[in-house]
Structure 1
Amino acid sequence: MNIFFLGAIALVAYIVQMFLGLKQIKNFNTVYGRMRRNGKVAIGRRPGKIASGTILLFSVDATGKIKEAEMMQGTSILARFKPRPQFAGLNVHELSEDHPVLLKENKLTRQAALNAQEVYLKVEKGNYQETKPVSPVMNLGLQLSLMKQSVQTKFTKRSV
């Protein structure tokens, strides 16, 4: 096959992926904006590297009662938010791993719901700090640096 033909296919696939990714971001912004107009929004995440990822949005009133919930779960850029009415009426403070509603959900949904509760409680206390994940390349560099320091300390201890 012609290399230009393969390059054109790759370019078209990249453009389609970019377009669908932007539609997914627009879907998130639309749902989040609608929920935000009604009050506070608790966002729970369970990122997926190989398995599907999950984002769970809770619209929460001043007392902590969940008014509305929507969830996006999937591995592809075709995933969209879907209503989760079983969470409506629950109190975000009372969610736990053994809550009857959470026991009926899959593991990813439970993790996302508990993450939403954790973040909500930290924000409510006023001590929430967003942590940025370390990239795999940076993580490898940190691991090598730690190994180097470990070897250096072993040799300096022996020579003393």
Structure 2
Amino acid sequence: MNIFFLGAVAIIAYILQIFLGMKQIKNFNSVYIRMKRKGKVAIGRRPGRIASGTILLLGVDSTGIIQEAEMMQGTSILARFKPRPQFTGIDIHQLTDSSILTNENKLTRKAAANAQKIYLEVEKGNHQDKAPVSPIFNLGNQLSLMKLSIQEKLSKKDENSAFRSSYHEK
């Protein structure tokens, strides 16, 4: 098989993945903005690397009652948000104690527990969102640290040689 054909197929697949990924992000943003206009939004995540990932958006009113719920679950970039009416009417403070979760799969239960945990932390003022560090950014940090270390060693060498030369001149 021709190497150029395989390269073209790989490039087309990559472009298609980027396009569908952008559509998925657009879907998330539209659902989130729609819910945010109505009140607070609790977001529960259960990321999946190999297994299916889950994102649960819970639209919560000022008293803590879930007014709207949508969930995206899947392993591919084709996954979209779907309404989850079984969560409406539940107080988010008692979400993990609710009997509704017994009928849900493990990933949904974990995402719901994550949404409740973050909501309660934000409510208390204790939550600080930690953005995950990408491997590329981490590599950049490591290279910057190596550069600083090398510069520091070189400047110490220069200081030592300057000290030695001034000592020998006396």
| Deviation beyond 3 Å, 4+ runs, structure 1 | 132-138
Is residue 11 of structure 1 aligned with residue 6 of structure 2? no
User: Which structure's residues are more often helix, by fraction?
Assistant: 2
Aligned to 1:114: 113
Point out where structure 2 has 5 or more consecutive residues left out of the alignment.
139-170
Q: Work out the CA distance in 2 between the residues paired with 1:33 and 1:131.
A: 21
Offset from partner CA, 1:73-95 (integer Å, 9 cap, x none):
00000000000000000000012
**Are residues 39 and 101 of structure 1, via their aligned partners in 2, closer, same or farther at CA, if it must alter by over 3 Å?**
same
Larger Rg: 2
Aligned to 1:29: 29
Paired residues in the alignment total 139
TM-score, length of structure 1 as denominator length:
0.82
Q: Work out the CA distance in 2 between the residues paired with 1:11 and 1:129.
A: 39
Q: 1:2 Cα shift? A: 1.4
Q: Work out the CA distance in 1 between the residues paired with 2:19 and 2:38.
A: 29
Aligned to 1:55: 55
Q: 1:135 Cα shift? A: 5.5
RMSD: 1.8
Is residue 128 of structure 1 aligned with residue 121 of structure 2? no
Aligned to 2:89: 89
Point out where structure 1 has 5 or more consecutive residues left out of the alignment.
139-160
Aligned to 2:2: 2
SS at match of 1:108: helix
What is the letter of the counterpart of residue 116 of structure 2?
A: Q
Aligned to 2:69: 69
Q: Work out the CA distance in 1 between the residues paired with 2:76 and 2:53.
A: 9
Q: Work out the CA distance in 1 between the residues paired with 2:70 and 2:93.
A: 18
SS at match of 1:95: helix
Q: 1:99 Cα shift? A: 2.1
